[in-house]
Amino acid sequence: MTAVISLIVNGKPRALEGEAPLREFLRSLGVNERLVAVAVNGEVVPKRRYAGVVLRDGNEVEVVRMVGGGSEDRGPRVRGRERQTVSRSPKGRPGTAVRPPKGRLQPAKDPRPLTPDPRPSEVVIVGAGIIGCAIAYELSRRGVSCLLLEGRRLGMAATNAAAGVLAPLAEFRRPDALMRLGLASLRRYPAWVERLREDVSDIDVEFVVNGVLRVAFDDAELTELRQGIAAAAALGMELVELDATLVREVEPRLNERIVGGLLCPEEGQVSNQLFTLALSRAARKRDARLVERAPVLGFRTSGGRVVAVRTPEREYACDALVMAAGPWTRPIARKLRVDVPAYPVRGQMLALGRMVTPIGRPVWGARGYVLPRANGLVFAGTTVEEVGFRIRTTQRGLAQVRRAAFELVPQLRHAREHFSWAGLRPGSPDGLPMIGRLPGWENAWAATGHFRNGILLAPITGELLAQAIVEGAPGEALAPFDPARFGR
């Protein structure tokens, strides 16, 4: 049976019976390919490549009719909009500018006038993942009305790709600025969770400070782990070194080949889905609004300000704009002629169960990690794949996740696989998130590029960006993460 895939075509969802070459898809629309330009995931596709480009689940497609020499083309009209595109290197990072096809791209007129939103919002936040919801929550606490616009469903993009590990030290290889930001965010979690319990008492976000255990299978891996002790000490964090015997006293079911490890008692975990849901509900209790399945088609601007956001159904006025759409931030920001070089990094995960939970805390190895969840399942992850906007699991990726999980906890070989999933996390060229004002715009902001740390960094991102919006200028703490750094 052919699997049905979902596309976003000119801003609207469309189902397709299986993957299809772009040329075949255009023919199914009754479109003359000679009279249109096509962009897939924000990049214009040369006509010579139409037969070789295959549309896959999650792709965003824009079909734009061509107008040459200033006169109107008499070919078929297809809704679309003008784009500026940026190429990617083979690994998906920003490359050089690509010129659009010859001729002038001109959006076709929509015969239906957009319905203006009867209740203008002070701040429109594009993206209702954990970062967007954290910003909305903090703004609402400051008395600022805001609107969350989500092209899909709440928390089902980058946020859903996460496991919920709260570990600012991670693999000890990240820039100091990011580790310090992560630690500051981790230490905000208890207060945030306590406030959320008061705001939405029916949601348990499963926050627990149970420590994260990092393990090594040989002396080389152990030496690399020990290098993190200095990094932790510089941040004022405690790392406890364990030999092989102590590792198995802490977690008896770990692989007997493990030669040692490090335990960080301050780190822990949270349910990324429930935490995001709680943030959303708490913000809405303070008059914030959420509109799902509302992809952004464009903006209305005046001078150096964004004054409205356009979706397929409505136009929403705004006093300020925040782009927090994960890897989709880049194509959305291009509509304002700004390059925010976030790119998608796919992560695949497995949920294992049908046994007594064999571990009591997140366990991190060189090739993957496992962590227990409150429902008795064990989550195993994750892959790091730069494959564009392909949101799907693969046999190869899940096999990699299984090997890493079974290596850490051999008992998991006998577990039942309850479900698997994939998501796209927003990477950035230098490994740091992009949080701050969009260059060239007085009232537009970005919060993306958090990669695998979006859950951890949600509280600090929400606080710092909400403060910057209210005060009209980013604080000193956001300086290392200024989106304008890539244009310098």
Sign of CA dihedral 45, 47, 49, 55: positive
> Residue type at 186?
L
The pair of three-digit structure tokens given for residue 205, joined into one six-digit string: 């976000």
User: Angle of helix 272-285 relative to helix 189-199, nearest 10 degrees?
Assistant: 60
Residue 296 has a pLDDT of: 93
Average pLDDT, the chain: 85
The band of 70, judged by pLDDT with boundaries at 50, 70 and 90, is very low
Residue 3 has a pLDDT of: 63
Is residue 103 pLDDT above 70, yes or no?
Answer: no
The better pLDDT of the pair 58, 203 is held by: 203
Q: How far does Cα 38 stand from its chain's mean position? A: 25
C-alpha span between 400 and 234 (Å, rounded): 34
Give percent of the chain with pLDDT exceeding 70: 86
Average pLDDT over residues 460-487: 94
Residue 27 has a pLDDT of: 83
Dihedrals phi, psi of 394, to nearest 5 degrees: -130, 155
The band of 60, judged by pLDDT with boundaries at 50, 70 and 90, is confident
> Residue type at 342?
A
Is residue 294 pLDDT above 60, yes or no?
Answer: yes
The band of 19, judged by pLDDT with boundaries at 50, 70 and 90, is confident
The DSSP result for 257-278, as a single string, is: T--EEEEETT-EE--HHHHHHH
Residue 459 has a pLDDT of: 98
**Angle at the Cα of 37 (from 483 to 13), degrees rounded to 5?**
70
The better pLDDT of the pair 258, 238 is held by: 258
- What are the structural domains, with CATH classification, of the chain? 4-105 (3.10.20.30), 115-157+273-342+430-487 (3.50.50.60)
Is residue 138 pLDDT above 80, yes or no?
Answer: yes
Residues 166-190: tens digit of each pLDDT? 999 875 566 688 999 999 999 999 9
Name the residue among 45, 93, 86, 59 with its Cα closest to residue 345. Answer: 93
Average pLDDT over residues 427-454: 95
Among 44-58, 393-407, 445-459, name the one with the lowest average pLDDT: 44-58
Residue 80 has a pLDDT of: 36
The pair of three-digit structure tokens given for residue 89, joined into one six-digit string: 């290197």
Residue 97 has a pLDDT of: 36
By the 10 Å C-beta count (0-12 exposed, 13-18 middle, 19+ buried), 230 is classed as exposed
> Residue type at 328?
W
The band of 119, judged by pLDDT with boundaries at 50, 70 and 90, is confident
The DSSP result for 128-147, as a single string, is: -SHHHHHHHHHHHHTT--EE
Residue 90 has a pLDDT of: 39
Residues 35-56: tens digit of each pLDDT? 777 878 767 788 778 888 888 8
| Beta-strand pair 94-98/104-105 | unpaired
What's the 3-state SS for 296-330?
CCEEEEECCEEEEEECCCEEEEEEEEEECCHHHHH
> Residue type at 117?
D
Cβ–Cβ < 8 Å for 37, 100: yes
